[in-house]
Structures are given as C-alpha cells and as structure tokens.
C-alpha cells in the first residue's frame, strides 16, 4: 500500500487511502475465477472417420476404362462392396463429427463432491458422406458419384434451440 494515493481529510487530520484501484483489481480476479469455473465444464471434440475423398482425387476415373484394381491402387480399398441390379457397387465412407458441450454440474461438483448430477447442454454435428462407384460384370467403372458433398450444415443436429 505504499504506492496508493493518500488524501488528507481536513476535518479530522487523518489520511484516507484511495481504494478504487484495489476494487478494480479484485473485480478482475473474481471475473477471471468465474470464467475459469465456467470453462471447467466445457468440452469440444472432433472425430473423423476415414480420409475425405475429393472430386480432384477421383478425377482419374474414366467410365468404361477404369477397373476396380486401378481404383483401389489410387484411393485404397473400398469400405464396402455390394451387388445391385446394375452390377457391383463399391462404397467409400467418411465422416467429420464435431461436438461441443457445457456441463453445468461441473461447478457444484467442485464444491459438493461427485454426487452432483450432470447437467449438460450439447451440440453435435454429424456429416456422413460417401463415394459410390458402380461396375459392370467385368468390374469396369460404369458410373460414380458422391452421395453427399460437404456443406455448411450437417445432416443431423442434436441441438434443441
């Protein structure tokens, strides 16, 4: 307190310390603690399934010329191969899932122990995508395409508001 400004009270002759800077510092400390406690229940997760395939990666495919072996050599083995009325179908899947949550029970849990229930507000965005390649009976590409290309909005929203 040696650096605090001192004012003289003319009535009693006592010195008065200006405490405004200390209240400002206390507000900052309390505010920082509140933010830290609020963030104690925050979580952000991202899960990716398989590598993303882009149109540039499959631009080598020539309908009527590219075989399943050439396809596997360039972009890897398909995740699934099935039969359809048109011939064999190779499916390549990938997904990018993002999740954010805020657990309001984490703050009381710090003070009252592990018996406080979880009160979580969560948002999850799931964007499943796939490349479909249709083959003729000789396993030469007949057609191919993406069933869903990435957009800004996921297919499934787990968010109530």
Which whole-number Å values give the CA distances from 23 to 2, 6, 14, 48, 143, in the listed order? 17, 16, 22, 48, 71
Same domain flag for 17 and 46? no
Same domain flag for 52 and 125? yes
With helix as H, strand as E and coil as C, how does the chain read?
A: CCCCCEEECCCCCCEEECCHHHHHHHHHHHHHHHHHHHHCCEEEEEEEECCCCCCCCCCCCCCCCCEHHHHHHHHCCCCEEEEECCEEEEEEEEEEEEEEEEECCHHHHHHHCCCCCCCEEEEEEEEEEEEEEEECCCCEEEEEEECCCCCCCCCEECCCC
Same domain flag for 24 and 90? no
Same domain flag for 98 and 78? yes
Same domain flag for 130 and 140? yes
pLDDT the model gives residue 161: 37
Tally of domains within the chain:
2
Look at the pTM and tell me if it is higher than 0.75.
no
Which two structure tokens, joined as six digits, stand for 29?
Answer: 């400390």
pLDDT the model gives residue 37: 63
Same domain flag for 118 and 96? yes
- Domain holding 132, by residue range, is 41-157
pLDDT the model gives residue 20: 65
Q: CA-to-CA distance for 121 and 118, rounded, in angstroms?
A: 10
Same domain flag for 48 and 11? no
Same domain flag for 58 and 101? yes
Q: Mean pLDDT of successive 10-residue segments in the chain (161 residues)?
A: 50 57 77 69 79 89 93 92 88 85 70 69 76 92 80 54 37
pLDDT the model gives residue 72: 92
Same domain flag for 12 and 67? no
């Amino acid at each position: 307190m040696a650096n605090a400004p001192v004012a003289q009270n003319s009535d009693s002759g006592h010195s008065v310390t200006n405490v405004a800077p200390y209240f400002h510092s206390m507000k900052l400390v309390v505010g920082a603690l509140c933010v830290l406690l609020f963030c104690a229940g925050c979580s952000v997760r991202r899960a990716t399934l398989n590598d993303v395939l882009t149109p540039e990666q499959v631009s080598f495919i020539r309908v009527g010329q590219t075989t399943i072996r050439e396809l596997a050599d360039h972009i890897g083995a398909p995740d699934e191969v099935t039969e359809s009325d048109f011939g064999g179908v190779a499916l390549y899947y990938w997904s990018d899932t993002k999740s954010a949550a805020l657990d309001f029970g984490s703050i009381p849990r710090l003070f009252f122990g592990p018996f406080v229930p979880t009160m979580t507000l969560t948002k999850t965005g799931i964007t499943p995508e796939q490349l479909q390649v249709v083959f003729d009976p000789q396993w030469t590409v007949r057609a191919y395409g993406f069933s869903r290309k990435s957009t800004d909005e996921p297919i499934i929203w787990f968010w109530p508001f």
